[in-house]
Structures are given as structure tokens and as C-alpha cells.
Amino acid sequence: MIVNAYAVLTAFVSLLQFAIGLLVITSSLGRGRVGTPVDVENRPYLLLLLSFLLLGLNLASWPLLYALLQSYVPSWPDVMCIYGVTRIGTGSVGSARHLPWLLSTVQCAKPLLVFLGGGWFVLYLANRATQTAPLLPRLLSGLLPLGVVSVADALCVGTYLAIPKQEQSLSVGCCTSAMADRSRFLPESLLGPGPHTWLTVALVIVVVGLCLGLLGAIRHGRQHHRYVLGLLAGTVVAIPLGGLFLIEIASPTLLQRPHHCPYDLVTEVPESVLAVALFTLGCFSVGWAAVATWLGRAEETLDVLPPLIGRVLFVGLFGYLGSMIMFTLEFSLS
Amino acid sequence: MNPPVSWWWAAMAGLVTVGILPLVGQSMREDDRLRLRCRWDGRDIDAAYRARTLDDAGAVSEFCDVGCARSWMGRHRSLSRTILVTDEDSRELFDAGEAFFVRSSIETNSVTRNRWHVFRSRDRAEQHARESRGRLMVGPDHPFSFPIEIP
């Protein structure tokens, strides 16, 4: 166990996530049936306040995780960046063998939590604009997956923090093995050598298409199910393309060396993290708009939803455009 | 539904701001770029152990040490190149073909764990090998005998 300021802060946040997540789960299970206006007025205030706190904790815990991993980098002589930290425990025979999969799970859970929280918040905004809160049962049901994932995430982070980060290998004592093992800390290209121009072209086409689609949805009010489904499909294609682009093209170009490691960008080109965050915001916003389109439908929300969805899509458009502008400038200046 | 005009203006201001950030970031890193960085792992280069390669196209690559240069060349085998290494005593760069390489117990860098030591003189290389439980690496053990195995 490595104890530093970030580890203590992460442990504290995880503890809060765990406790509030459990409270939210138990409360949402017990209050699933809210039917009368009296129920609406009396019951869910504390639950909603707890949910907002959980949303904030989940959001804060995402960058905190990477700050923690960055603080662990000097702990091992061979490790040069966060990628190396994520590889600690690989091939180990002790409890450290669980570290890589725990970290992978946490790295997947963080964006999932932010997406779930954002979707829930958009439904909350739609519900708040109505007179009789027709979406309240759906809001309370939506807290269940949010609470479950939060608790699971907090457990994984807590376990990761508690496991000793000392690797025990069967090949200890053999300097040749130790040398050969060094390569596991070097991030490799996923697609092999080559310029991969097709990847850049494909991503630009998809993102420009998405921006035009979003502009159409915002300016001309095209927000029916099929149109939002089209935008969602474009986003589903953009996410893996964006990830590959970051690893294969953006990282080596911005770092100016053959490293396919997006983690290095955190310390060496920090503003590019904002570009990645904006791209993520763009993707998530389309997802949140889809959530509002499908789960926010009720007689009373028919007038509320179009402007709300329009604004969420507007945020998505801003995210995609901001990300494109930043990466274009970074590339032209590198 | 079209968002209010103020949103469009705010978004425009936001886009201009995020557009300025790369310019600011690049200008702040200008000094950083002037520092010599290893082509392989990006670390600052210690003049006592640096290695340099020049390929046929005239491109120069600088490395922390022999280990990083070997790793780089192991992944870029197609290019023919001139390799320069640094004599640990005089800190002068010279052709790797004239150098004597020793792998000893002494690490030159705690991160890369480089244990290659370079000398212009055979006597100094053998002395270092004796004093540091090392071995003179010649023939197939020479660090730049091709093909290089990826460490």
C-alpha cells in the first residue's frame, strides 16, 4: 500500500461514494412506488440531495484517479508514466496480480458513472420543469444502477488502494528476465507501424457529420426518435475511432516521439486533456439527449423536452467543435 | 429548439478560449523543446551517457543511453545509420565502431536501468569491467551488432 496525499484523498472520496451509494440504493428500493402528489411532496427530497452529492463525487473521482496514478509513477524504477502504473502486477503471483484488472474496471466505471449521472440529471431537469413530477418514478428507478455502479467502483478503488504494490514473480533473481520484462512498461501501437491516415480521415468525416447533424437538430428542431438515433449511432462510431486516434496519431505527434501513450499527454501536453474532455462531453451529450428522448416522454413533458434536448445537443456541438479546434491547432503547432 | 442568442455568443467565446490554449501551451513549452530529450523515452539526456544516430535521410536522433538507442533501432530496423556514443571519461561523442562497451553492475539511470558503459580506450573498459563486476561486450554481444533484439 502506497500512502500519499492523493491516496488518502481517493480513499476518502471512495468511502463517501460507497456510503452514499448504499444509502441511495436502499432509499430508491424502498421508495419505488411514488404515485400521489403527497408522496411527491413528502418523500424524495433527501434522496435527491444525496443523489446530487453522489453525482459530484463520481465526477470528482474521475480526474482524482489519474492524479493518484500519476503520483504513483516515481514508486517503481522502471515506470515512466501512468501506463507503467497500470501494468504493475502483470504476471505477479501475489495479491498484486489483481491490480491490473481492478484498475481496468475502475477506468471503465468512471466514465460510465459520469454518463449515468448526466443522463439522470437531464431527466431530473425535465421533471423539474413540470407541475406534477411525472418522471419521478423513473428518476428513482434510475438511481438504482447509479448507486450499484458507484458502490462497485468504490469497492474496486478501495481494494486497489489496499493491495500491496509489490510484485512477486517466479523469475525473481534472474537479471535477464528482469531486463526482458522492461518492455511491458512500454505502450505499443494497437494497429502496428504506419501512418494510418485513414483513421484521421474517418474520424474527421464522422465528427464533421455529427457537428452538421447536431446543428440541424438544434436550428431546425429535428429531434424525433430516428434523428437522435442517427446521432447516437454516429457517436457510437466516433468513440472507438477517437480512442484509436488518440493512441495511434495524437500521442506520438504531440509528444514528438514514438510513444503510443495517451497518459503521457497529462503531464507533457496538459491542454490536450481538455480536448479529450471536450470530445467526451460531445459524445456524452448526444447520449444524454437520447436518454431524454426515450425516457423523458410523458404528456406533461412534451413541451419541456424539445428545448431541453436542444440545449443538451448544443453542449455536445460545443464539445465536438472545441475538441476539433484544439487538436487541429495542436497538430499544426507541433 | 434553438437555444437563446446569448448561448451562441457564450459558445463562441468558449471556442475562442479553447483555441487560445494550445498556443499558450506551446509557447510555455518552448524552453522545454530546446532541452535535449531522448527519442525513445522522452527523458532529459545526461551528457555522460548520450547516444546519437544519424540516418541516411539526415535525421538526427538523440538518446539517454545505449539501451534506449538499442530499443529504438530494434523497432526501426530498415534504416541504415551512423551511431555515435559518448566516452564516459571525456564525455565526447565518437563513432560506435571505435567504442568498447561494458555491461556492468552499475546502473547509469534508475528509470531506464541502463548498465551499458562506453569507453574509447580498451584499457579503461577492461578496468571498469574488473572494478564493477562487468564484462567487455564484443562480437555477437556488441550492443549494435545487427539484428538487435528488442529488450
Model pLDDT for residues B96-150, shown as the tens digit of each residue: 888 999 998 888 887 777 889 999 999 999 999 888 888 888 888 888 876 555 4
Do A327 and B20 contact (CB within 8 A), yes or no? no
Residue A80: per-residue pLDDT: 76
Do A167 and A92 contact (CB within 8 A), yes or no? yes
pTM: 0.78
**Residues in B touching A183 (Cβ below 8 Å):** 150-151
What number of helices (H) and strands (E) belong to chain A?
13, 0
Query: How crowded is residue A152: how many other Cβ atoms within 10 Å of its Cβ?
Result: 18
**Surface of A (230-289) touching B: CB under 8 A:** 255, 257-259, 264, 268-272, 274-275, 278
Measure A316 CA to nearest chain B CA, in Å.
11
Model pLDDT for residues A149-205, shown as the tens digit of each residue: 999 999 999 999 999 887 766 554 444 444 445 556 666 777 776 778 889 999 999
Three cell numbers, residue A318: 460545443
Q: What are phi and psi of A28, to 5 degrees?
A: -70, -30
Average pLDDT value for residue range A308-324? 94
Measure A32 CA to nearest chain B CA, in Å.
33
Residue A41: per-residue pLDDT: 63
Do A225 and A204 contact (CB within 8 A), yes or no? no
ipTM for the predicted complex: 0.79
Three cell numbers, residue A212: 452538421
Subunit contact A221:B7, Cβ cutoff 8 A: no
Model pLDDT for residues A90-143, shown as the tens digit of each residue: 888 888 889 999 999 999 999 999 999 999 999 999 999 888 888 888 888 889
Subunit contact A326:B39, Cβ cutoff 8 A: no
Cα distance between residue B125 and residue B118, in whole Å: 7
Cα distance between residue A168 and residue B63, in whole Å: 31
- pLDDT of residue B33 exceeding 80, the answer is no
Model pLDDT for residues A16-54, shown as the tens digit of each residue: 999 999 999 988 776 555 556 666 566 677 888 889 999
Q: Which residues pair with B82 in a beta bridge?
A: B54
Model pLDDT for residues A2-20, shown as the tens digit of each residue: 888 999 999 999 999 999 9
**Rg of the Cα atoms in chain B:** 23
Is B7 within 8 Å of chain A by CB?
yes
Cα distance between residue A262 and residue A264, in whole Å: 5
Is B4 within 8 Å of chain A by CB?
no
Query: By C-alpha distance, which of A319, A254, A270, A324 is closest to B21?
Result: A270
Model pLDDT for residues A267-302, shown as the tens digit of each residue: 888 899 999 999 999 999 999 999 999 998 888 888
Cα distance between residue A318 and residue A68, in whole Å: 29
Query: How crowded is residue B122: how many other Cβ atoms within 10 Å of its Cβ?
Result: 12
For residue A293, give every residue at least 6 positions away whose Cβ sits within 8 Å of its Cβ, in sequence order, or none: A223, A225, A228, A305, A309
Edge-to-edge strands, sheet with B116-119: B116-119, B100-103, B135-137
